Amino acid sequence: MTVKHKIIHGQVFQEDGVFSPGTVYICSDRIVSEEEYQAAEGEETVTDASGSYVIPGLTDIHFHGCMGKDCCDGTTEAFRTIAEYELRQGVTSITPATMTMSEEVLSQICQTARDFSCPNGADFCGLYMEGPFISLEKKGAQNAAYIHPADTAMLKRLQDISGGCIRTVVVAPETEGAMEFIRENSGTINISLAHTTADYETSKEAFSLGASQLTHMYNAMPPLTHRAPGPIGAAAEQEHCMAELICDGVHIHPSVVRASFKLFGDDRIILISDSMRAAGMEDGSYDLGGQTVNVSGNLAVLEDGTIAGSVTNLMDCLRTAVKDMDIPLESAVKCAAANPIKAIGLWKDYGSLTPGKYANLAVLDEALNLKQVIHRGVSVF
């Protein structure tokens, strides 16, 4: 017998990026059409979403941890804690990020990812490999001891161990072997430019070879200036390129966030949290990639004062973008739910409330407070 659930009277986020009054129909773990819903037999649950927004569950493709756990812990327990916390925030699918670590540590993370499942947590959609193929000069919070030239053989070893779980890999295109690495791998994996000193011309070449993303734009890269547009200027000109933004109120000034939306458009911005293990925890000292991070409020810094990731989950970043940065809700939802899934190639099953996709969604009140989370057709919040 099919479990049926319909959500009525809400403002429903449509695949074309607008809200309109509507009903969402769910049978078992999938969104279905009204006709399919009516034809199905089974017990029915009805949710009245009057005065509320019904949106696809968010996808965080770039974050490191939360609730005291980190992707680089490399354990099933850590992955489970992360997945369960994210789901409670309305983030229903994730690709946690590694750090610049030894191949031995990365291999353990990949092995855990290969075998991981968590029915009570956000859907685990793979890994985001941030490092070790980065620039020493722009390492940010990455550990310099493990920086490594771009290496296709190493990526293949890790990808084999993970069972194909690595969705995104970052690279500094100016470093040794990077261009060849991009040429060799861009057809099979999402390549993002990151932790780089690359100038405009170098970045443009990398995008022409198949790189398609900027990791936490503005952070750990040359700025956009009128005589040296750098990787940001190069990315803006490439229609296939998306750019990540951390809208936690710390990493990027609201004016720059608004300018970025005008420069790239809301079809090409990806909201990420880049959160570390302190997300959801109290102020104090924490570890990130083997380095000590001191957290106070929304600010997380290394001992030398370098900003070290965020302590804000993606749903809170969405709220900050809308409430404090004047980004339209429609745009923020597109950039936190649809665009990230498109970047990692899973649009067929995720990212919108279209019949046939997984029934992963969130209901927000008019103040954007979370009222309900539905994961694969089951209400979990």
Q: Does 350 fall in a domain?
A: no
Q: What is the pLDDT of residue 306?
A: 77
CA distances to 96, 124, 293, 336, 371 from 378, rounded to whole Å, are: 23, 17, 37, 21, 14
Q: How many CA atoms lie within 13 Å of 194's alpha carbon, on the beta-carbon side?
A: 31
Q: Does 65 fall in a domain?
A: yes
> At 260, phi and psi to the nearest 5?
-65, -40
Domain of residue 34: give its range. Answer: 4-55+355-379
* CATH assignment of the domain containing 270: 3.20.20.140
Is residue 139 within 8 A of residue 133, CB to CB? The reply is: no
- Tokens coding 43: 């017990």
Among residues 70, 73, 248, 274, which one is catalytic? 274
What is the helix (H) or strand (E) element at residue 108, kind and residue range?
A: helix 103-115
**Domain shared by 95 and 41, yes or no:** no
**Domain shared by 162 and 209, yes or no:** yes
List, as own/partner pairs, every contact residues 197-202 make where C-beta atoms lie below 8 angstroms and the sequence separation is at least 24, other chains included. Answer: 197/135, 197/137, 197/138, 197/172, 197/221, 197/222, 198/172, 198/173, 198/174, 198/222, 198/230, 198/231, 199/174, 199/228, 199/230, 200/228, 200/229, 200/230, 200/231, 200/233, 200/234, 201/234, 202/173, 202/174
Q: How confident is the model at residue 247 (pLDDT cuts 50, 70, 90)?
A: very high
Q: Does 82 fall in a domain?
A: yes
Number of domains the chain is built from: 2
- What's the mean pLDDT when you consider all of the chain? 95
Q: Does 118 fall in a domain?
A: yes
Task: Of 3, 118, 65, 5, give the one whose Cα is nearest residue 361.
Answer: 5
- Tokens coding 89: 């925030």
**Domain shared by 31 and 149, yes or no:** no
What DSSP character marks residue 57? P
Residue 97 has pLDDT above 80, yes or no: yes
- Express each pLDDT in 308-364 by its tens digit: 667 899 999 999 999 999 999 999 999 999 999 999 999 999 999 999 999 999 999
**Domain shared by 314 and 368, yes or no:** no
Q: Does 267 fall in a domain?
A: yes
**Domain shared by 47 and 169, yes or no:** no
**Domain shared by 23 and 63, yes or no:** no
**Domain shared by 279 and 369, yes or no:** no
Residue 300 has pLDDT above 80, yes or no: no
**Domain shared by 339 and 236, yes or no:** yes
Encode burial over 80-93: b for 16+ CB neighbours within 10 A, e otherwise: bbbbbbbbbbbbbb
Q: What is the pLDDT of residue 1?
A: 61
Q: What is the pLDDT of residue 296?
A: 80
Residue 39 has pLDDT above 80, yes or no: yes
Q: Does 315 fall in a domain?
A: yes
* CATH assignment of the domain containing 365: 2.30.40.10
Q: What is the pLDDT of residue 294?
A: 83
Sorted by sequence, the CB contacts under 8 Å of residue 319 that are 6+ apart come out as 368
**Domain shared by 106 and 22, yes or no:** no
Q: Does 349 fall in a domain?
A: no
Cis-peptide, bond into residue 132, ω within 30° of zero: yes
Say whether 160 is catalytic: no
Q: Does 281 fall in a domain?
A: yes
**Domain shared by 181 and 326, yes or no:** yes
Return the residue matching tokens 């194909």: 164
β partners of residue 95: none
**Domain shared by 16 and 73, yes or no:** no
**Domain shared by 44 and 67, yes or no:** no
